[in-house]
Amino acid sequence: EKGQEIRLSGLREVHFGLQLAGIPHVCRFVESFEEHANENVTELWLVFKFEGQSLRQYLYETNVEGSLIHFQTSHFWRDLRQSPHGPRMIKEVMRQILQGVSFCHTKNVTHRDLKPDNLIVHVQLPSSGLVPSFEEERFSIVLKLADFGSAVDAYSVEHLYGTGGPSQEEETLDYAPPEVLFGDGVPCAAMRPHSYDLWSAGVIFLEMLLGTSKVFQIDGRTRAYMTVKMPNAPPKMIEQACLLKAFMEYRIYPPPSHSPSHSPPHSSHDPPAPPAPPAPPAP
């Protein structure tokens, strides 16, 4: 079953790679081919132009302590925040993200999984050291959107998502908009799916400023309380409940349930809604 889901994701990559060919700020798809690993397994291979490395690789670095691997903000991110030229770099990154998203939306394509892992960046800096520096003004950046395995358009929804249609399984919770998290399993707002990408772009902007994708957080005491109150819930459901609680603390609430823009496109296949997050303990 998982193999079929992965194959459909690859076929969506092929579909959108062809549909978005020549679009600025989208990774260049070259070709796809199949290879028979054995008589029972056929592998689908995708070929793209090399465009650079992910924005996440620029923003974070790994810190290995024994068998544990921690991610921490990188020298690049600290330069980004401390250099007088850092704001110009952030502005340029956001400009190119929004341009790429705008081009996709003109083709009625919603990416649905924008995050630093799926933004490929090529930075040219005058520094000759191993760690890029913003001490000089001269630098250029080219950013391209990648990984359209979760993207949707009219054709893919009907033909490339199987019988269940798009779901939250193809999405990343930290970057999902309120209408999805509050939406009883809907993959995007049916009448305004492009709003998904705009919310994700806003989270990425905050992530570049804060150095974390957890831009909507609750305090540790409340998180621990909610975890105890949901002993049998899977980790993803607990994380979703914590996000919903954080949204409510920011006064972000779901739209009215009768709103047509909030209706799922494939309601007969939607999974059941997660339980409402419990109230935090009294101080």
**Residue found by looking up tokens 């459901």 in the block:** 237
The structure tokens listed for 277 are: 């997050």
Hey, which residues are catalytic here? 113
* Nearest Cα to Cα of residue 195 among 258, 266, 93, 110: 110
Separation between Cα atoms, residue 55 and residue 38, nearest integer Å: 36
Helix, strand, coil percentages in the chain from 3-state DSSP, rounded to 5: 40, 15, 40
Q: What is the pLDDT along the chain (283 residues), one digit of tens a residue?
A: 457 888 999 999 999 999 999 999 999 999 999 988 787 788 899 999 999 999 999 999 988 877 788 889 999 899 889 988 889 999 999 999 999 999 999 999 999 999 999 999 998 766 555 455 555 556 788 999 999 999 999 999 999 998 888 887 888 888 988 888 777 666 777 678 899 999 999 999 999 999 998 888 888 888 898 889 898 888 888 888 888 888 888 888 766 655 544 444 443 344 444 444 555 555 4
For the chain, the residue count is 283
Identify the pLDDT of residue 128.
52
Which residues 6+ apart lie within 8 Å of 102 measured at CB? none
Separation between Cα atoms, residue 278 and residue 243, nearest integer Å: 12
Q: What are phi and psi of 141, to 5 degrees?
A: -140, 140
Question: How many Cα atoms are found within 13 Å in the side-chain-facing hemisphere of 261?
Answer: 11
Q: Which domains does the chain have, with CATH numbers?
A: 53-269 (1.10.510)
Identify the pLDDT of residue 267.
37
Q: Can you point out the beta strands (E) in the chain?
A: 29-38, 41-48, 53-54, 60-65, 68-73, 119-124, 140-145
On whether the CB atoms of residues 210 and 269 are closer than 8 A, the answer is no
On whether the CB atoms of residues 202 and 87 are closer than 8 A, the answer is no
Question: How many Cα atoms are found within 13 Å in the side-chain-facing hemisphere of 48?
Answer: 23
Identify the pLDDT of residue 136.
52
Identify the pLDDT of residue 247.
84
